[in-house]
Every structure is written in structure tokens, then in C-alpha cells.
Structure 1
Amino acid sequence: MSSNPGKAQSTPLHSVSVAGAVVREDGRVLAIRRADNGTWEPPGGVLELTETVEDGVRREVSEETGLKVSVKHLTGVYKNVTRGVVALVFRCHLEGGAEQLSEESTAVEWLTAEEVKARMGEVYAVRLLDALDNEGDSAPRIRTHDGQRLIA
């Protein structure tokens, strides 16, 4: 019920995105440099209406990197309050394929945690760092941000 009787209640609309935190046996994590803005991020994108969450993760990783992965577990839920985007990040295991560029990526690299911190903005770095910390033995992190900074 709206606290303002003169104002109509609106239904919030959110977009759901998925990303794969692909961790190699040596502890490095997969990242792409986006073609549209040059930022480093985990591979991911908008979840299609007709696909499962896991299928969306596999599709996005494959499209952006050429790699095939298996989806292991949810490591974080991240809400961008400015854009109304909810991102689900899953730790993934590399199954095969070869790194390749796409229309969406100008670089595909395996980064250390320190390289993630150095190359990525806070709201993307935390997604991979949370995934590196969660090997399946803890609950997913839930974080909110404004597109640039985490909100406490």
C-alpha cells in the first residue's frame, strides 16, 4: 500500500544478469575487457526470458570467451540500485574450449586476485573476489551498489 494516497503504486522492474566466475586450478580467475567501454569484468550478461539461470551463465561465458564451463554454485547477488539490475554470479569450472575474442570482448585473460583489484572497478572486482573466497562452503554474498561504489 502506498504511503501517499494521491500517488499510484508502481511495480518495480528489474533486469537480471548472470556472470561466471571461472576459477582455474592455479587460483586465477577469468576476465574479459569489454569492447563497448574497455572495462575489465567477469564474463556475463542479461539472462534471456526462456533460458535457465545455469544455461545463461554457460551461454554468456561461451559467447564472450570461447570457453565451456560447468556451473558449480552461486557466490553472490549484486543489485545496482541506479539501473535496477540484479546480477547473479556463479563459480564455474573450466570444461574445455580455447580463449577467443568476440564482438563483446577485446581481451580474455586469467587474472590473480591482485590483478583483479588493480584492473577492475570496485563493483566488478568484488564479484570475482567473493567467488574466489567461496569454494561452496559458505552462503553467497549479497551486496548493493550504485554502479560505481558498494553501498553499506
Structure 2
Amino acid sequence: MKTPMLTVDVIIRLSGDRIILIRRGRSPYRGSWAIPGGFVEYGETVEDAARREALEETGLDVEIKDLLGVYSDPRRDPRGHTVSVCFTARVVSGEPEAGSDAADIGIFHIEDIDDLELAFDHRKILEDFRSRYRE
């Protein structure tokens, strides 16, 4: 039986309605902006995976705050069916620095992302984030 791959995404919130995105250094979507995240390793909780991926890709130690949602469209990743658990987080320590498969790192005001080329279904995820935190 074939099953979906499990991933996490973590929206790292900064003061002033700013977030951190990474520019992907690898395919798929090489050169596009993305929410930090990646695959959950065997034996790892999704929360631990989100913290690990945030640290690997941004150099930031984060505290998970909220579950934003679960994104499971079978077409969301061209590599195959993935299900992503998306969290919001705040920075505990560290300085933003691109790492792992990130070619660059950027800090964006959440209202200024409309013109960015975004990977996967990250536009939908960020629209959900904006809607939730505007309320």
C-alpha cells in the first residue's frame, strides 16, 4: 500500500506582522520563496520536525505557537503526494541565516507577499495565515 509522505511547514512570525521565508536552492521550485519546512523523520513528532527544519533552514531556534492547518492536496508537491502540517512559531534565539537547502532568506511583511513567486501551495497557506491573524 502506498501512503503520502509527511512534511511540516513553519511560519516564523516576527514583530510588525513580518515573517521569514527562504528561497529554495533545490528543485522543485528552485529559486522560489517558501515557508521553511521539510520532511518528518521516522520517530520524530511533527512539532520536533518543525523546530528542526526551522533551525536547519533559517538558523533560528523557534517555539511552536499554533497549528495553522493540514494541507493535503495530492498535487501540492510534484515529487508525489505529501501532507503538510503547518505551524506558526516565534523566535526564541538565533539570527536569520540561510542554511540547508535554502539559497537565501528574507523577511517580509505579510501584506507584501502577493508579488512573490511562491513554492508548492504556500500562497494558499499564507493566505490562510493572513485571514486567521487579521481577525
- Normalized against structure 2, the TM-score is what? 0.84
Match of 2:56 among 43, 63, 66: 63
Pair 1:33-2:23 in alignment: yes
| 2:103 paired residue number | 106
Say which one has the larger Rg.
Answer: 1
| 2:124 paired residue number | 126
| 2:74 paired residue number | 81
Please say if residues 20 and 44 of structure 1, whose CA atoms lie closer than 8 Å, have aligned partners that are also in contact: yes
RMSD: 1.8
- Cα deviations by residue, 1:108-146 (Å, 9 ceiling, x for unpaired): 1111223322113372122123223335x8xxxxxxxxx
In structure 2, stretches of 5+ residues that fail to align are none
Please say if residues 76 and 88 of structure 1, whose CA atoms lie closer than 8 Å, have aligned partners that are also in contact: yes
- The more displaced of 125-134 and 35-44 is 125-134
Higher-RCO chain (CA-CA 8 Å, sequence separation at least 6): 2
- The more displaced of 32-41 and 117-126 is 117-126
In structure 1, stretches of 5+ residues that fail to align are 1-10, 138-152
Please say if residues 76 and 131 of structure 1, whose CA atoms lie closer than 8 Å, have aligned partners that are also in contact: no
- How many matched pairs? 126
Distance 1:27 1:59 in 2: 23
Please say if residues 113 and 129 of structure 1, whose CA atoms lie closer than 8 Å, have aligned partners that are also in contact: no
